[in-house]
Structure 1
Amino acid sequence: MNSSNKDAGTVRLESVSKVYGRGEREVVALRNVTTQFAKGSFTALMGPSGSGKSTFLQCAAGLDQPSSGTVYLEQQKINELTETELTKLRRERIGFVFQSYNLLPVLTVQQNAALPLRLAGRKPSRQQLLDVLNQVGLGQRKNHRPAELSGGQQQRVAIARALITEPAVIFADEPTGALDTRSAREILALLQQSARVMGRTIIMVTHDPVAASYADRVLFLADGQLAGELQNPTPVAVAERLTHLGDADAAGNLVHSLSNAGGKN
């Protein structure tokens, strides 16, 4: 996926920095980061602990304000919006998938999936709900509650909830971290399909080289700065790059993932 065309970027960061604290307590979480994410692309964001991955995601998603620089979503400067405008933007144009599924236990699958539209004062049609649940393979489970589902199925509900508003971008933070290997592969394939077939832009933070290999490219962060990227990544190539960045767990993650995943490379 070509990301060199400035106009093609669904999400774009220009010279974004984030500083916490002052004086001796100052911590620079992001340093002058410039990058973009094309429509329909699937990007994994990786780096050692403390590299700035979470801060990057929060600034890109409008959950936190950068100290300097500009964040664009579909050419709109989101860090210049009011909190009310940001809330509306996140509700309508951004989807979120986290390691914890954040489902409401008293609601059914279809009620959980419909929640973003309900909060926006919109009533989804029955067909709209069925379509999105069929996309994630839960059309036959629409009346079940979270406790009646496996972890992988609960994460599918979370993805359906992210898709229901037809967002421009989905931010996924360790979406397979709590799943078994088979469920993780299914969720990653679903995110991959959301990008390639549905044209959603997917930005995923992960520590797992095998998970990253489902993406079109991997962006690496180190000490709050971009430290390179990898197109068409393989687990081995990702782990090698992470090891060079000082991520001592990269090789261990790869061995563990490959032993459970049947050697994807």
Structure 2
Amino acid sequence: MDTTTVDTVRLNAVRKVYGKGGTSVMALAGVTLGFQRGSFTAVMGPSGSGKSTFLQCAAGLDRPTSGTVLLDGEDLAGYDETALTKMRRERIGFIFQAFNLLPALTVMQNITLPLKLARRRPNPARVAEVIDRVGLSERTGHRPAELSGGQQQRVAIARALVTGPAVVFADEPTGALDTRTAREVLHLMRESVRTLGQTIVMVTHDPVAASYADRAVFLADGRFVGDMYNPTAEVVAERMTRLGAWAGETQAQPATGGVF
């Protein structure tokens, strides 16, 4: 079966090397992974494992040294920088730890900003549905400073969903939140996958956050070293403690992956 027809995002043998010669650093060493439509995946690994580089390459924010990144079967290598920027605005959503809201704009203005940047007329029904799903219908006229941290992250989630993106990349989305608020945000992300068929790829170091995902994939030393479905916080935490040993055992093996 041709997996590129069912993967929203697919990386094939992606390598990313920074620098040249003796000072070069290989951040990704031939990673092959696929992410199916309507799935919620946590990407985990210790510091220096390549998580951030993985996200940047998968989202079209950085170009791999070799290998291919496919979005809905289209190779991003065929896009120039202008086309990549347009593609990210229209087909990729982003959620960050720091929220990245514009303080002078209201909740409604922050949420609809990606549509304005893409010169797309907002669909009032779609906007209202997204705002209702994140529980902010009574807050649309407020500015970020008038919201709690959890509410600000809900604005960021709505902003990521409003364009109906093919995939949402989340980078430590609960890192700045307290435990209870983090769980509410993770539940909201889980629900967007279940009810909207959204595809979410979340980089996290938190086993509890990973337990909300359908699948956890693990990176170590720039390599894919394994995954698990229906992860629990306890099993993920135990797996994370062994990543160093795994990396040593798998360095001699070519990285493999796909739709698991």
- What TM-score do you get using the length of structure 1 for normalisation? 0.90
Aligned ranges 1:173-192 → 2 under 5 Å: 173-192=171-190
Mapped partners of 1:95, 1:137: distance in 2: 19
Mapped partners of 2:4, 2:219: distance in 1: 21
Which residue in 1 is equivalent to 2:88?
Answer: 90
User: Is the 8 Å Cα contact of residues 15 and 32 (structure 1) preserved in structure 2?
Assistant: yes
User: What's the CA shift for 1:4?
Assistant: 9.1
| Cα displacement string for residues 199-250 of structure 1 (whole angstroms, at most 9, x for unaligned residues) | 1110000010000000001000000000100111000100111000139xxx
Describe the SS at the equivalent of 2:138. Answer: helix
Which residue in 2 is equivalent to 1:171?
Answer: 169
User: What's the CA shift for 1:135?
Assistant: 1.2
Mapped partners of 1:97, 1:194: distance in 2: 13
User: What's the CA shift for 1:11?
Assistant: 0.2
User: What's the CA shift for 1:5?
Assistant: 4.0
Which residue in 2 is equivalent to 1:251?
Answer: none
Which amino acid is 2:22 matched to? E
User: What's the CA shift for 1:129?
Assistant: 2.3
Which residue in 2 is equivalent to 1:254?
Answer: none
Q: Which residues of structure 1 form unaligned runs of 5+?
A: 248-265
User: Is the 8 Å Cα contact of residues 11 and 37 (structure 1) preserved in structure 2?
Assistant: yes
Mapped partners of 1:173, 1:115: distance in 2: 20
Mapped partners of 2:29, 2:206: distance in 1: 24
Residue range with higher mean Cα deviation, 120-129 or 15-24: 120-129
Q: Which residues of structure 2 form unaligned runs of 5+?
A: 246-260
Which residue in 1 is equivalent to 2:143?
Answer: 145
Describe the SS at the equivalent of 2:152. Answer: helix
User: What's the CA shift for 1:190?
Assistant: 0.9
Pick from 199, 202, 205: which aligns with 1:201?
Answer: 199
User: What's the CA shift for 1:120?
Assistant: 1.2
Which amino acid is 1:105 matched to? P
Percent of pairs with identical residues = 64
Mapped partners of 2:132, 2:26: distance in 1: 44
Which residue in 1 is equivalent to 2:215?
Answer: 217
Pick from 38, 41, 62: which aligns with 2:39?
Answer: 41
Mapped partners of 2:123, 2:237: distance in 1: 45
User: What's the CA shift for 1:151?
Assistant: 0.2
Mapped partners of 1:128, 1:241: distance in 2: 40
Mapped partners of 1:185, 1:4: distance in 2: 36
User: Is the 8 Å Cα contact of residues 62 and 79 (structure 1) preserved in structure 2?
Assistant: no
User: What's the CA shift for 1:6?
Assistant: 4.1
Aligned ranges 1:1-265 → 2 under 5 Å: 5-246=3-244
Which residue in 2 is equivalent to 1:255?
Answer: none
Mapped partners of 1:185, 1:9: distance in 2: 28
Mapped partners of 1:4, 1:52: distance in 2: 27
Describe the SS at the equivalent of 1:189. Answer: helix
Mapped partners of 1:79, 1:244: distance in 2: 35
Mapped partners of 2:19, 2:207: distance in 1: 33
Q: 1:203 to 1:4 in 2, by over 3 A?
A: farther
- What TM-score do you get using the length of structure 2 for normalisation? 0.92
Which amino acid is 1:144 matched to? H
User: What's the CA shift for 1:196?
Assistant: 1.6
Which amino acid is 2:18 matched to? Y
Which amino acid is 1:10 matched to? T
Q: 1:137 to 1:16 in 2, by over 3 A?
A: same
User: Is the 8 Å Cα contact of residues 4 and 72 (structure 2) preserved in structure 1?
Assistant: no
Describe the SS at the equivalent of 1:85. Answer: helix
User: What's the CA shift for 1:128?
Assistant: 3.1
Which amino acid is 2:163 matched to? T
| Cα displacement string for residues 34-70 of structure 1 (whole angstroms, at most 9, x for unaligned residues) | 1100000000000010000000000000000000000
Q: Which has the higher contact order (CA 8 A, sep 6+)?
A: 2
Mapped partners of 2:191, 2:156: distance in 1: 16
